[in-house]
Amino acid sequence: MPHSAQKLIFFITKDDKMILSDKKILEAIDTGEIIIEPFDRYHLGTNSYDVHLGRHLATYKGEILDARKHNEVEHFEIPEEGFVIQPGVLYLGVTEEYTETHNSVPFLEGKSSVGRLGIDIHATAGKGDVGFCNTWTLEISCVHPVRVYKGMPIGQLIYFTVEGEIENYYNKKKNAKYNDRTIRPVESMMWKNKF
């Protein structure tokens, strides 16, 4: 079982009331606690919401990445006929959907149909923070060449309740590195950390 799946099962089985159902997601949208733009009721599952691959991809320009330096990326658009992603290359993608989550923890997981094509949509960053307000950058890799298309279902957002009051919302943190609203994938900002 993949490590990310083990972590997800831990959260679900720890307390069966922690994950939001479709009705709870709709209630949170009605109150503004969750925002999904664009929103389509058709994409709401039993306990998740499907998100789609945006038209922009990016790859790093350098052959060797340096965690202490700003590694620049080259952006490009997925053409109508799709784009073939290759093994051994890290592609940064982005969701079509802009989301806000103000009272729960959003998790982004790949759809099983995407996984069965040998595509991973994130390396480590599946969990969002309460207060995250943006599109989601995807860390896309594949096992063998796969043609992908803009607008294809790529992942699903799952929401977990939070116990206790929030002091430090992500969108209000002074040192938050991914707050600027964008429709393009954002490269690593690790270089902004002090280490």
pLDDT tens for the chain, 195 residues: list them: 455 444 444 444 444 559 999 999 999 999 999 999 999 999 999 999 999 999 999 999 999 999 999 999 999 999 999 999 999 999 999 999 999 999 999 999 999 999 999 999 998 868 889 999 999 999 999 999 999 999 999 999 999 999 888 888 888 887 888 888 999 999 999 999 989
Cβ–Cβ under 8 Å, residues 57 and 95:
no
pLDDT of residue 172: 81
Q: What angle do CA 92, 170, 166 make, to 5 degrees?
A: 145
Q: Rounded to the nearest 5°, which phi and psi values hold at 36?
A: -135, 120
Q: Look up residue 178 and give its two tokens.
A: 């991914």
Catalytic one among 81, 139, 165, 187? Answer: 139
Q: How many Cβ atoms are within 10 Å of 93's Cβ, its own excluded?
A: 27
Our answer to whether residue 139 is catalytic in this structure is yes
Residue 50 corresponds to which tokens in the numbers above? 């499907």
Tokens representing 28 are 């949170």
Cβ pair 93, 54 in contact under 8 A: yes
Could you say which architecture CATH assigns to the domain 3-62+72-165? Answer: Distorted Sandwich (2.70)
The pLDDT value recorded for residue 13 is 44
What pLDDT shows up at residue 11? 46
